A and B are shown apart, each in its own frame.
Chain A
Amino acid sequence: MDNELISKKDLLDLKGISYGQLYRWKRKNLIPEDWFIRKSTFTGQETFFPKEKILQRIEKIQEMKEDLSLDDLAEVFSPTVGEVEFSTENLVGSGVISEMAFNFFMDIRNFNKNFEFEDIIQVYLIDQLLASGDVNRDEVRMVLDLLEGNEDLLRSKPTEIFITRKFGVSSSLLVSNQENVLFDNATKVVIKVAYGSIAEELKSKLIGGK
């Protein structure tokens, strides 16, 4: 999809940030280590970043750093989750997830324990998928089944969730560390969503709401 890179130099210039800030943000895990791509240029070794991702991330950091400390920001962007438990009243009441998505989740899962962050991500995902209008309930059910049991992968690697349709039959996939995923012409990609982005979005809503 987007393979465009931007050099470290150009990034600092474009966004008006300094070396000190960039190294500090890297140290605080606001920018993942594997976004730093080394390439040999004629001046020697230079560092590049995936352009779209880094610009988005820097924008978010600059936006949020007035309200949140760097450590809080690191929480928002980290792929791991804290050990917080949420009560269902708080969640639906706060408007972060809809009652419909919550009920859908409860129906499928036969849920009877406390909600952990990863469970909420699933409910939030249901909300986003159904609200988009592109995905039907069976497809959402399929994704939830796929997510269950694959928590380790979701926690450790940047993973994307795909729903595809071919000749009226749907499939769902989890692709981690995606470089290139190509489908044949008859396959339509209905949804492609990065698990990490959903987690971030949800976290910033939850942290922002505090």
Chain B
Amino acid sequence: MDGLRDLLINGNGSSGGGEFETVKINGHGKILGDLKCDFFNINGHGSTVGNVDAQKVQIDGSGKIRGNVTAKIAKIEGHSSIHGNVDAARLDVDGHATITGKVTATELDIDGWVTIEDDAKAEETRIDGRCKVKGNFTGKEIRMDGILTVKGNCEVESFKADGKFDIDGLLSADQIEINIFWSSKSKEIGGQSIVVKRKIELLNKLVSAFKTVQLTADLIEGDTIELNATKAKIVRGEDIVIGDGCEIDLVEYSGTYIENGNSVVRKAVKI
């Protein structure tokens, strides 16, 4: 991008789109037209109508983009709404973001709040804040400590949850590791290895609601399953261990079955 101009809007201004080195909006700026640049930065109340294709996109203020965003790095620290798709090698949300289209990223790092109205696809996802996906969430690895809501299915290779999740469809992964601290739920859970443990912390023991904090699912199916603090209608698998605090209507196992805690299992059948 050598020899290109910069576009700088300070105060109230508007401009057409085009190809630039750096595009910066400080104040009430508006850009009409597609943008292609090295660095795109909104520091005030900026908006663009058009697609943004940049190496780095940084929104610190209140940004509104009506178009698709393609970037190597997209960082959102303020309040932004993107009416389009986001395709980034790394998407970092520290502020508040609403994306009405699909998100495709290699790394997705959420410390703030993000709502994705369509599907999300990310190789590696870290959620420490709040993430809501109204479509399906797919990828390689999800590690979460905050709050994850998925309206569709969540299908990945590895799912590690220390936080709270609410999945309307199917949660599926080869390795599922859930540490229950807050109540979570998923309509169905399926995979190879499924382990649900209760996160015991000192504070927990003092909270009277502790007893009802659990994972709720209609159906859990896997090869090896270990459950604690789980309420499920049906659990099916090869080797199943039911530990403490579970309430299961039916267990169907083809290999081994062990009950080694304080749980209620209404029926266990070897098939």
A binding-site residues for B, Cβ under 8 Å: 9, 18-20, 22-24, 26-27, 43-45
Contact = CB atoms under 8 A, between A and B. Distances in A.
A20 B218 contact: no
A9 to B, nearest CB: 7
Nearest to A36: B170
B174 A19 contact: no
A27 B236 contact: no
Contacts, number: 48
Interface in B227-243: 233-234, 236-238
A20 B254 CA distance: 14
A27 B237 CA distance: 18
Interface string B191-233: 1110000000000000000000000001101110000000001
Interface of B: 138, 155-156, 172-174, 190-193, 218-219, 221-223, 233-234, 236-238, 249-250, 271
B223 A19 contact: yes
Nearest to A28: B155
A22 B250 CA distance: 21
A121 B193 CA distance: 40
Given A9-B271, A27-B172, A20 B234 contact: no
Contacts of B193: 20
Contacts of B236: 9, 19
B234 A23 contact: no
A201 B64 CA distance: 47
Given A23-B192, A27-B138, A43 B172 contact: no
B250 A20 contact: no
Given A20-B174, A20-B222, A44 B271 contact: no
Contacts of A20: 174, 191-193, 222-223
Contacts of B221: 19, 23
Given A18-B223, A23-B192, A44-B233, 10 more contacts: A18-B238, A19-B223, A19-B237, A23-B155, A26-B155, A27-B155, A27-B156, A44-B219, A44-B250, A45-B219
